Every structure is written in C-alpha cells, then in structure tokens.
Structure 1
Amino acid sequence: MSLDTARNPTDTATDSTATAVTERPAPAKGAGLGVLLALLATVVWSGSFVVARALHDTVPPVQAAFWRWIVALVAVAPLAARETWRQRHLIRRHLRFLALASLLGITVYNTLVNQAGTATSAGNMGMIMAASPVLMALFARLGGNRLGPRRTTGMLIACAGVLLLVSKGSLAPDFATGDLWVMAAAVCFASYSALLKRRPAELGGLAFLFTTFALGALMLLPAYGISLAVQGGFEPTTGTVGPLVYVGVLSSAVAFFAWNKAVTLIGAARAGIVYYLQPVCVALLSYALLGEQLGLLGGASMALILGGVAMSSAR
C-alpha cells in the first residue's frame, strides 16, 4: 500500500468513550475533500501495481522497494527537512510508533507488493488489495465505531465483487503464490492505516512523512545488500528508472500525502470504502498498458464494486 495525519477531534471522543459509538460524519466540505484525496491516492497507487508487474523481470523486488523510498526521500526533502529537524526531539520521543508505522507501511507493504508482481498479474494484485478496507472497517469496529447498516451493506457488496474477481466465479478459488504475497500486503496496509489514527497530533505531517520514509528505507538496507550480493544489480535504463521515479514521487510522496490527509478528514474505514475502486483502476490500467484482459466476469465484478462504493459513501 504520511503528510498530514493530525488526529480528528471525533477520534478523541471515540477514544474516551468506554462503549461503542457511531462514528460522527465529517463536515460536508471536509468529507468531500477527504473522498477526493482518497480517490487520488487510490488511482495513483493503482499505477504502482502495474509498475510492480512491469518490473518483475528487470528489477529485483527488494531493490525496487529500496530505490522507491530513496527517490521519495529526495522528492520530499526540500519541503520536509526543516520541519523534521525542528521536531527532532518529538520524533525521538515517539520513535517506537514511527518505527512500527514505517515497518508496516513502508518497508514490508511495498516489498510484498513487488514480490507479488513476480508471480501474479497486476489485475489480481489490485483485486486482492481491495480486501484492505474490510480489515480497516474491522479495526474501526474493534476500536468502538459502529459502521451502520448502509455502510456495512455497501462494503459487503463491494467485497462480493472482489471475491468474484479473485475466484473467477468458482467456489474453489486457486490462489497463486503471488496472490498470497498480496494478501499479506493487504494486512500490512490495513494495519498501517489503523495506526494513522494514533499519530501524535503535535507531530507535523511533513516530519512524519520524511521520518517514516527514512526509517523504512533504513530497515530495507540489509535486505537490499543481500539482494545485490545474490541477485546482482539492475541496469539503469529508461524502462527501469522511469517507473521507479513514478512510484517514488507519485505513489509515495503524493499518494501517501493524499491518503493520510483523507484518513484525517473521514477516517480509515470511510477512506477504505473509496479504496475499493482500486481493482477497477488497476484492471483498466493493466489492460491498457500490459494487455491483461478484463472479460465479462471482470465487468460484472466492477459493477458490484462501484455499486458498493456508491452505497457506502453516500451521505
């Protein structure tokens, strides 16, 4: 699956209440912006699945992940370095939390996606990653938020569309090894999104972004060294550097900013509903760029996903 994740006032109310409460809707303006930002992140991230698949035989997965975050660090440094230095004592105080968020959302999640790209299609990756919102909603429910019947129904409809895609209409789906890697990535991304709610409010979004990128790349460094020794490096060409710049600048700096701001405005569960659109975006991109076929079954699944998203996000 970082810039502005200040705690929503409604989150504080939820945390201080012993019994389950209904998640308060964001103001109309904030909710609309939150949905748009979640959609932006979803569309941009969809392209990263296509990139992971396109690079599967030219750039080793760990090396692709490592250079993605190096590029992302270079991209955000001009904006984030000063704030990060100013809040260095605060970062040191919350280093455990930042390390866990970096491990889940930066180091492990993206590496698993790249690994999956060596063994399954971009379409399958997008389909299975759409299970993340189910886990986000589950975490929100465990945290004391009621989802409501309309959101729950829409989520189930969208989930049915995802299952239809993954199973290809069969009652006994046969998951490839790459599919299992993506499932693990979905758990990591949902866990990361749930953690965003607990980000220290006093920690600036830019500082959070820069620190998690740096820690994530640092934790990847040993695996990167092993990959170089065992697999060798990759040849820097337009076909390898261009995609890495895309995932480093757009899928990392821009998309993480948009996603974390969306979670701030509308919560992880509601942002997760928009994330259900990812398999639709990935399917269209993989068809246009990689020639992966969608088919009638894919169209029916997309209709279920879109219908579920519309029902769940309607005010």
Structure 2
Amino acid sequence: MTSTTARLPTTPDDSSTGSARPAPAKGAGLGLLLALLATVVWSGSFVATRDLADSVPPVQAVFWRWIIALAAVAPFAVRPFWRQRKLLRRHLGFLALASLSGVALYNTLVHQAGLTTSATNMGMIMAASPVIMAVYARCGGERLGPRRVLGTAVAVVGVLLLVGKGELTIDFAAGDLWMFAAALSFASYSALLKRRPEGIDPLAFLFATFLLGALMLAPAYGVSLAVQGGFPVTPGTAGPLLYVGVFSSAVAFFAWNRAISLVGAARAGVVYYLQPVCVALLSAALLGERLGLLGGVSMALILGGVALSSAR
C-alpha cells in the first residue's frame, strides 16, 4: 500500500482556464479501470444496503459505515493527514462541502431509499448521476464531443427501458425519489473533486472527508439511538457493514477519486452507467431477481453506450 500514498497527477481538465486537455492514453486507461473498479464495488453495496434496511436504521448504518472506513484507511492515512494538517485546515470549507455531499448526505439518502425500493431500482436510478456529471462538466467549459453525447443518450435509453419495464415511462416509489436525490448528491461530489486544492495527498483527503462526514452524522446518530434504539450485532448485520465500510467506502472512494483525477468526472461518469448492469446481475444471483429478455436488451444498450462514450 505504500505506493498509493503518491500524490495524484494533475487533473486532465484544466479548471483554471476552462479548457479540456485529453488525458494521456496510459492515464486514461488506468482512470477508466479505476472507475470500473469503484462502480463494481459500489454495485455490491446496494445489495448490502438493501439487506441492512430491515435490521439497522439508516443513520446508524451510515455512521458505522464511516467509522469502519476510518479504521480501514487510518494505518495508511494518519501520517499524511497529520503532515498536511495545516493545508487541510486552510481548505476546511472545501473539505466540509465534499464531506457533506459525498459522505454524509449521499450515503444517508441511499440507506433511506433502501427502506422502500429494491436493490435493482437503486442501481438503475443511480445511473442518472453521469448525466448530471456531464451537465456539470459542460457548464464548467468542458467539451463533451458528439461521440460521448451519443453514447450517453444510448445508455440513458437502456436505463429508462429497465426502469420503465419496456416502455420509456417511469413510475417512482418513495425510495426511488430518495435515490434520485442521492444521485444528485453524488454527482455534485464528483464535480467538486475536479476542483480539489492542489497538493493534498489522496489518502489525507479521504481520511479528512471520512472524519468530517462521521462528525456531521454524529448528532443524527445520537437522536436515532435514543429514539429507535440500537441494532443487534450479528453476522447478518456485521458482514454487510464491513463490506460497505471497507470496500464500498475506503477502497471504492479511493479508486473513484483517482479516476476523476485522471479522466475527469464526465468520462468516469460514463463508466458509472455499468452500475445498473452490475447491480442487476448481483441481485439475480443473490436475491433471485430476474430481468429476462428486456433486461438483456437494456444491458446491451447500456454497455454499448458506455463503450461508445469511453472509446478514445
């Protein structure tokens, strides 16, 4: 893990001038692979989140998720965090905003959605995030190009067919609306990463945002504990919490942040369209959900759109 403490390379999109510079081929390939890794790991987290919904209150699940994540990254992040404490304090406002959107708010919304919607729907609706990321990128001056726009449109059609069960119409439950709010929060976090202050070590950044996010959640956790009581610590609750804390938080967030630095939020967001495919496959294997022919056609559209948008 010592090699991961290296500083992130300069972002491929020059936010100071508004012009977009293409990432080197090697860096772009690595960035897309890291975005794919984060997407696959996060796909499993929707299944784990849905599994926790009946036994762990959402705020308590999110709070312990970040406590576990802090413990997972601490052996590698404490030293750079302490070394850069003055730099981190100087950019406390940015760190607080990133923590609110990507750590505290986003994950609380996801766990809240898990109370009233399926894991498959959660993954499919989160595919709205790349559209919002692309809008943010365009507003920031980044040129998306006709191929990426076309690929995004094809992937969106695939997602809408999945959600609409063969028709381009959508019937939302309460949990689906919570997930759309989560998608907006996650897209905002991804857009913020492009403007991360230079010089901050990636592990120090992770530790700082995880710590601030846990502190933001602490008052709500106390209220939930007083009103709803605690939850039983069993293999059925500890296992999913360890997964979302170690893999979906520490590993996936590090990979995603690195991917953003290499290829930008809009391009990494295109890979994120694979999430409904991954969630559907995991849900079919673990929860017995079946998609049938419609699911196959929709997945083909999503995969085709991702391939079209990601190709150099």
TM-score by length of 1: 0.95
Change (3 A) 1:160 1:153: same
Write out per-residue CA displacement over residues 201-250 of structure 1, whole angstroms, 9 at most, x where no aligned residue. Answer: 11111110000000001100111111111111110001100110111010
Q: CA deviation at 1:24?
A: 2.5
Kept after mapping to 1: 8 A contact 2:11/2:263: no
- The counterpart of 1:8, out of the listed 1, 7, 10, is 10
Q: Quick one: distance in 1 between partners of 2:65 and 2:218?
A: 12
Q: CA deviation at 1:5?
A: 8.0
- The counterpart of 1:26, out of the listed 23, 26, 47, is 23
Find out whether 1:47 has 2:44 as its counterpart.
Answer: yes
Find out whether 1:304 has 2:301 as its counterpart.
Answer: yes
Kept after mapping to 2: 8 A contact 1:123/1:282: yes
Q: CA deviation at 1:280?
A: 0.2
Q: CA deviation at 1:56?
A: 0.9
Gaps of 5+ in 2: none
Q: CA deviation at 1:8?
A: 2.8
Percent of aligned pairs sharing the same letter? 72
Q: Quick one: distance in 2 between partners of 1:199 and 1:9?
A: 10
- The counterpart of 2:195, out of the listed 195, 198, 202, is 198
- The counterpart of 2:285, out of the listed 264, 288, 311, is 288
- 1:124-139 paired onto structure 2 within 5 Å: 124-139=121-136
Equivalent position SS for 1:203 = coil
The aligned counterpart of 2:217 is: 220
Runs of 4+ in 1 over 6 A off after TM superposition: 2-5
The aligned counterpart of 2:143 is: 146
Of 41-50 and 160-169, more deviation after overlay is shown by 160-169
Kept after mapping to 1: 8 A contact 2:151/2:306: yes
Kept after mapping to 2: 8 A contact 1:5/1:199: no
Specify the code of the residue in structure 1 equivalent to 2:254: F
Of 279-288 and 296-305, more deviation after overlay is shown by 296-305
Specify the code of the residue in structure 2 equivalent to 1:175: F
Q: CA deviation at 1:174?
A: 1.3
The aligned counterpart of 1:268 is: 265
Of 221-230 and 39-48, more deviation after overlay is shown by 221-230
- The counterpart of 2:160, out of the listed 160, 163, 172, is 163
The aligned counterpart of 1:78 is: 75
TM-score by length of 2: 0.96
Kept after mapping to 1: 8 A contact 2:12/2:264: no
Gaps of 5+ in 1: none
Q: CA deviation at 1:146?
A: 1.1
Kept after mapping to 1: 8 A contact 2:124/2:162: yes
Equivalent position SS for 2:199 = coil
The alignment yields a C-alpha RMSD, in angstroms, of: 1.5
Q: Quick one: distance in 1 between partners of 2:210 and 2:258?
A: 17
Specify the code of the residue in structure 2 equivalent to 1:223: A
Specify the code of the residue in structure 2 equivalent to 1:201: E
Change (3 A) 1:3 1:130: farther
Change (3 A) 1:4 1:135: farther
Change (3 A) 1:295 1:36: same
Q: CA deviation at 1:25?
A: 2.0
Write out per-residue CA displacement over residues 177-219 of structure 1, whole angstroms, 9 at most, x where no aligned residue. Answer: 0000000000000000000011111111111000000000110
Kept after mapping to 2: 8 A contact 1:73/1:213: yes
Q: Quick one: distance in 1 between partners of 2:10 and 2:83?
A: 23
Q: Quick one: distance in 2 between partners of 1:4 and 1:183?
A: 35
The aligned counterpart of 2:275 is: 278
Q: Quick one: distance in 2 between partners of 1:266 and 1:279?
A: 21
Kept after mapping to 1: 8 A contact 2:13/2:142: no
The number of aligned residues is: 309
Specify the code of the residue in structure 2 equivalent to 1:8: T
Kept after mapping to 2: 8 A contact 1:6/1:200: no
Specify the code of the residue in structure 1 equivalent to 2:139: L
Q: Quick one: distance in 2 between partners of 1:3 and 1:181?
A: 35
Q: Quick one: distance in 1 between partners of 2:6 and 2:51?
A: 31
Specify the code of the residue in structure 2 equivalent to 1:120: T
Change (3 A) 1:77 1:233: same
Q: Quick one: distance in 2 between partners of 1:80 and 1:200?
A: 18
Find out whether 1:248 has 2:245 as its counterpart.
Answer: yes
